[in-house]
Amino acid sequence: MPKNGLFTSTVALSAQPDRMCVQLGAANGEERLPLSLDMLLILEIMLHEHDLAAAEAQFTAVRKAPLAADAQGAVEELSYSGNTCSVVVRRGSLIVRDDRKKAPVADLTAQSRSTRQVLRALGTRRNLSHDPETPNFRELFTELHERGLLVPQIGEIGWGQLRRLTPICPAFGTSRGTPIDRHYLNQFIAEIRDLVQGDVVEIGGEDGNKDVYGFTRASGYRGLDIKEAPGVSLVGDAADPGIIPADSLDGIIAFNVLEHTARPWQVVDNMRQWLRRGGTAYCMVPSAQRLHGAPEDYWRPLPAALREMFGAWSEQTVHQYGNPLSAVASLMGVAAEELDAVELGTYHPDYPVASCIVARK
């Protein structure tokens, strides 16, 4: 956990009849995990007290104290305090909103500032109770911090060497090591290595990539590119359906390709036409990467876009990689070797760096 600095809470809570959980701030698709009464108490204390040591002392004192009458009374005055409402906790204020009317109905900032117990009162109304044993404040703080509910106080973010208007390496991080998106592509290749088989064409690739990627089950492997080059067996535009006979391939590889085509959905339709029934396409697109040519850069397809483009295929599985840290690292040209395994491997659904798909015809 952070050992110093000033922190504050920022979260929108859903106060449901039987629990309190995160409404805004949870990751896309993440289950709304309920918060304990002790977590609610820490969130409210750190809305007003930003120093860790002082907040811990307040937590110990307030937790032992009876529920404050001011906080209890303010909650009881809410006509629907037993029903669902939203509680917005941010920038020193605590506002209750009516979920149905989408409008604020009570400003309980003053009561929160004087008692630190408004969220505790709301939780108690929903039959939440404190753990019988005194919890470890630092452990609860760490959990809330890792979930993004406790963040640096405004003006306290330590930007360090990232406070710059140019990337650390404009060449994707190649001057420092392995580009972040390449690290994730290598991970995807390892996951599909035993699946690629039969007669395979790689769009934007070379014949020799069969050995580079370790696709040993491919009986044939040809590169397709728009320009003639050594190691390229097929020359043509993947947007042209006539360059490869229909129903003739077992696999198609397209790494860092679809973002460079003006109509990627057309290329996807062509791949489906070229594959035999049961044939499979393996595609990767960057989702957090600087613009670059070769020959042109049109798109940054997100996972939902891949699912939509491959919607007519019989099967599809999206592989998504990245998190906020690796997304920033990728855009700034920081190399994969400069992040540790946890920083690279942790997945966050809202921050894709590389989006991949395995789709079967």
Establish if 27 belongs to a structural domain: yes
Tens digit of pLDDT for each residue in 262-296?
999 999 999 999 999 999 999 999 999 999 887 89
Question: Same structural domain for residues 122 and 187?
Answer: no
Establish if 2 belongs to a structural domain: no
d(CA 225, CA 268): 16
What is the mean pLDDT of the segment spanning 153-164?
A: 92
d(CA 130, CA 63): 8
pLDDT band at 17 (very low <50, low <70, confident <90, very high): confident
Instruction: Report the CATH number that the domain containing residue 276 is assigned in CATH.
Output: 3.40.50.150
Instruction: Give the least confident one: 53-62, 122-131, 178-187, 248-257.
Output: 122-131
Establish if 169 belongs to a structural domain: no
Q: 44: closest CA among 112, 107, 128, 129? A: 112
Tell how strand 249-255 and strand 198-203 pair up.
Answer: parallel
d(CA 162, CA 167): 8
For 293, the domain range is 180-360
Q: Which two tokens stand for residue 274?
A: 């070229």
Tens digit of pLDDT for each residue in 300-352?
999 999 999 999 999 999 999 999 999 999 999 999 999 999 999 999 999 99
Q: Which sign does the torsion angle of CA 38, 40, 44, 49 carry? A: positive
- The total number of structural domains in the chain stands at 2
Establish if 1 belongs to a structural domain: no
d(CA 313, CA 358): 10
> Final residue of a domain: which of 127, 158, 189?
158
- pTM of the full structure: 0.86
